[in-house]
Amino acid sequence: MTTTGPGRPRKQQSSRPGATAREEILDAAAELFTTQGYANTSTRSIAEAVGIRQSSLYHHFSHKDDILEVLLAGTVASGLAFARTVWAGAASGSSPVAAAARLHAVALHDGTQLCTARWNLGVLYNLPEARSARFHSFMADRAELRGLYQRLGAELPENAWAGTGQNGDLAFRLVESLVNLRADGLSTPDSPQQAADAGIVLCGLADNLAAIRARSAELVAGMHS
């Protein structure tokens, strides 16, 4: 019998990723919430999936909603931080290519996070529970991220498709559609790039896509260095 830090001994050795019992609980909950459904998952089943007692789980999380709150926050945290940094570095009067590259980079980074996370947690966005006041912080962060997409899109020239200034919102919705694509088993390693490219094409800048892609890649590489 092994131990998990504070709390009671572990019933069995866990094979889940995570340096701590808390991380293993989050991983197990993510799997069960996305495969069995949130309502159908109990704290007991999460504890059993980790190999700990239910009482040990309560040492880390007092309620199932607490686990969901952390998981939801994690789906938007990286994308929001990246978008804030890109927006903070935006220069007024930029060329259409430079402005489009910023939007493309945010979409590419955001889409990559959604597609490469261990579990497809984006499907939890549609939970009725996620819309409750309990998860106000997550909803506020998601609204801020959407707002940054809109600001970045507003820097682009008006075009026939998005003539009302909805360039950023189109990109945001295309990225979020990757959640359903992944749920249907249709996402590929190229899907984030394709979604980001599609946003640029719909903004009327298809002729400049190669240059936009190159500048976007530089932005992404610079933020990750």
Average pLDDT over residues 110-134: 93
Is pLDDT at 5 greater than 90 in this prediction? no
Distance CA 212, CA 206 (A): 9
Orientation of helix 167-183 relative to helix 191-202, angle to 10°: 150
Measuring CA to CA, which residue among 177, 187, 46 is closest to residue 107?
Answer: 177
pLDDT at residue 49 in the model: 95
Look-up: residue for tokens 């990286």? 78
Fold of domain 1-62? Arc Repressor Mutant, subunit A (1.10.10)
Q: How far apart (Å, rounded) are the C-alpha atoms in residues 106 and 109?
A: 5
What's the pLDDT tens digit per position in 6-25? 444 455 555 676 668 999 99
Residue 164 main-chain phi, psi, to 5 deg: -100, 20
% residues pLDDT > 70 (the chain)? 88
Output the pLDDT for position 158. 76
- Rounded CA-CA distance 203/136 in Å is 32
The predicted model scores a pTM of: 0.88
